[in-house]
Amino acid sequence: MNITLRAGERIYINGAVLRVDRKATLELMNDATFLLETHVMQAEEATTPLRQIYFVVQVMLMDPATARTTAQLAASLIAKALQAFETPLVRQGLESVSELIGRARYFEAMKALRAMYPHEQTEMFPDGEARASHAA
């Protein structure tokens, strides 16, 4: 798999952070867990239940050594979100995310969570009032 990075861009591979000083193409020759900087959420951006779950799953992906412990926090957040949300798409999505986490498919879980953000916004802010402050 080839990954092209721009100057100054970071990539997280198997818990290590790499930054390139100029445009570079990396070729991953074997299976590796990686996360591009564009998919990294900062802690202050974890402002909604789904974003908080995303942040925790991101930590699991970036620091595999703590994944088992962090999975307990993710499970707790998912359980609370399942109690809070009524939207079937969000509830089914959370169940799917839980399953993906159980199979250590963290990137796929993060992708599923990002796809649910609009549904979360609709349920949390039916009048659209807080969309700007919680935009992805």
Q: Is the pTM of this model over 0.85?
A: no
Give the pLDDT score at 130.
57
Give the pLDDT score at 38.
83
Report yes or no: 14 and 33 within 8 Å, Cβ to Cβ: yes
Report yes or no: 129 and 66 within 8 Å, Cβ to Cβ: no
**Three-point CA angle 76, 78, 83, nearest 5°:** 100
Q: Look at residue 48 and tell me whether its pLDDT is greater than 50.
A: yes
User: Tens digits of per-residue pLDDT, 51-109?
Assistant: 999 999 999 988 888 888 999 999 999 999 999 999 899 999 999 999 999 999 998 99
Q: Look at residue 23 and tell me whether its pLDDT is greater than 50.
A: yes
